[in-house]
Amino acid sequence: MTQLDLSGVLVPTTTPFDPVTGELDLVGFRANLRSLLDHPVRGILVGGSTGEAVLLDEEERGRLLEGARDVIPDDRILVAGTGAESTRSTIHLCAMAADNGVDAVLVQPPAFYRGAMNDRALITHYAAVAEASPVPVILYQVPLRLSTLEFATSLVSELSRIDNVVGIKDSRGSLELLGELITATPEGFQVLAGSGAAFYGALSLGAVGGILAVANLDPAGSAAIHTEVCAGNSAGAGKIQERIGPLHTGVVGLGVPGIKAGLDLLGLRGGPPRQPLHPLDDSGRAAVAGFLEKADLLVTT
């Protein structure tokens, strides 16, 4: 299988819902994608944590992928989140995603029975998924504030040597731990940052790119950090990072409701999250507006 180049910024897109019916807003979804793709991002992730994947049913995931595939040009990539609690379900979701034309899948670990998810269980799980998946597999170290488990560096080293496992998204936000992954995995295994607050530092350590929720709000700036680092312009990259870092901490740190509020303020389709998540209150939205203003993304009159 040809190695898939993951370098650059992938945007883990949100999932808009109709505020009255609660059903998918596919028109708004596709409009958001077109706006994101006006900027030099590497591609789009559908069905990640930012996309409220755990609140979607399988039919909705398929409709989102089908809608995204028509919008994404051939020079960009489409990645689908396909992690599930059973190996069987994960394999099924990988096959469904491949049928909808994705270029790779992002697979979070099963974590409900966390105490039973030792190294042997996880290696067996990912080996089976990677063998069955028609497209390359990216491991997903989910942010530790969510319901998940943490991969040991030694485990990632073993998983990285499984055929068809091509990279990892590390959303812990620790440059020390991300650096360990880069050192412990073989050449060609692609480490992606999951924290917009640590993106420049991650690239400096050898990460090839990032899957960054903050890129929903500032795709141009997020992509520019990668461009400047590749061009050897550390000062330029650092200056952009100084602007984006607080946006990650202040808005992405509020979770899906914060990102969706930011999209609404920027004239894109944010809308309400799906219950049991709730939208931000007025003070929360005002705080988001303040961070967008400080990042020069929102002009007030």
The whole-angstrom separation of Cα 226 and Cα 232 is: 10
Burial bucket for residue 65 (CB in 10 Å: 0-12, 13-18, 19+): buried
Burial bucket for residue 140 (CB in 10 Å: 0-12, 13-18, 19+): buried
Concatenated DSSP letters for 218-246? -HHHHHHHHHHHHTT-HHHHHHHHHHHHH
The whole-angstrom separation of Cα 20 and Cα 282 is: 20
Catalytic one of 169, 239, 260, 294: 169
Contact 122, 162 (CB under 8 A): no
Contact 80, 102 (CB under 8 A): yes
Specify whether 169 is catalytic: yes
Contact 226, 45 (CB under 8 A): no
Contact 223, 8 (CB under 8 A): yes
Contact 141, 171 (CB under 8 A): yes
Q: What are phi and psi of 42, to 5 degrees?
A: -75, -35
List all residues 6 or more positions away from 182 whose beta carbon is below 8 Å from its beta carbon: 191, 205, 206, 207
Please list the active-site residues: 169
